[in-house]
Structure 1
């Protein structure tokens, strides 16, 4: 084993993939059905939301959603492998960890906004956010954590959003063609 990976447990880097898989299993199991069942209520509660959002949510089906999760698995696995190969130094890996943690916080905010369960909100406080904080702590102790500022947070959210959009575009293309 190289010096750069010796003192950072693979649990830190491959833990991203494991935590993500557990979290997204919840989203696959409950996401599309929850959206379908709650769409009328959401439309009433949030009348100012753009019509484009409602149309996009109406189009979510189980098969396409599951394929999108599979596409995202490739991205998360690549981030985990890159993190492992660089001993956690990879900006791609650290951005994925940060984006994943912020994603978990967004799930909690969604649950607060609807005043109840939303897909992803059950695993976020017990898996997503704790993993992200733990991994950042391990990277910090190993002297590998990149500084985080508002620009980095915005960049991480943008990258996570882009990966999500890309995953759904790939899924739509594969499922509908």
Structure 2
């Protein structure tokens, strides 16, 4: 799982990317399996809510289309990470098998239905911002939930 991969690879990554602040590496190492699993579950809720809004609006929902863009773009981030490290990284196996095919399929359905919003740089930025905010928010939620226990 991701926390084990991080623990194994952070020492090498620290040497390879010395300009990354030490606080980033410490924060990565601090994410344990419980936090990661809780954050993934919370992300599933975020995406399910966006999908429900998409269903409710026949795919017209800006929230749904932004989340769909975010889902696909997050997959490209995983592939870029794997390319940068020249090897396996978490998410690099599921991206070509699940993330990108689903994103292409869903966008195609929206396009054929005539409801796909044009994808311009602004929409890409919104998608990346959505992905980043959702990731940060779900990890913060996970930390809060686990701290109360």
TM-score (norm 2): 0.96
Which residue of structure 2 lines up, in the alignment, with residue 82 of structure 1?
53
Aligned length: 148
Distance in 1 between residues matched to 2:40 and 2:7, nearest whole Å: 18
Tell me the CA shift for residue 156 of structure 1: 1.1
Residue of structure 2 in register with 1:58 after alignment: 29
For residues 130 and 53 of structure 1, the distance between their equivalents in structure 2, rounded to whole angstroms, comes to: 31
- Kept in 1, the 8 Å contact 2:3–2:29? The answer is no
1:113 to partner: Cα distance? 0.9
1:58 CA displacement: 1.3
1:71 and 2:45 correspond: no
Unaligned runs of 5+ in 1: 1-29
| Distance across 1 between alignment mates of 2:64 and 2:39 | 20
User: Alpha-carbon deviations, 1:75-121, whole Å to 9, x = none?
Assistant: 01101111111111111111111100000000000001111000110
Taking the aligned partners of 2:61 and 2:21, their CA distance within structure 1 comes to 37
Provide the alpha-carbon RMSD of the alignment: 0.8
Cα separation, 2, equivalents of 1:127 and 1:159: 19
Q: Which residue of 1 aligns with 2:73?
A: 102
Quote the residue 1:49 is aligned against: 20
Specify the alignment match of 1:135 in structure 2: 106
Q: Which residue of 2 aligns with 1:115?
A: 86
Which residue, 106, 110, 115 being the options, matches 1:144? 115
- Secondary structure in structure 2 of the residue aligned to 1:146: coil
Cα offset, 1:55, TM superposition: 1.4
Q: Specify the alignment match of 1:176 in structure 2.
A: 147
Provide, for residues 42-101 of structure 1, a one-character-per-residue CA deviation record: whole Å limited to 9, x for no partner: 111111112221111111100011111111111011011111111111111111111000
Name the residue aligned to 1:7: none
TM-score, length-normalised on structure 1?
A: 0.81
Spell out structure 1 runs of 4+ moving beyond 6 A. Answer: none
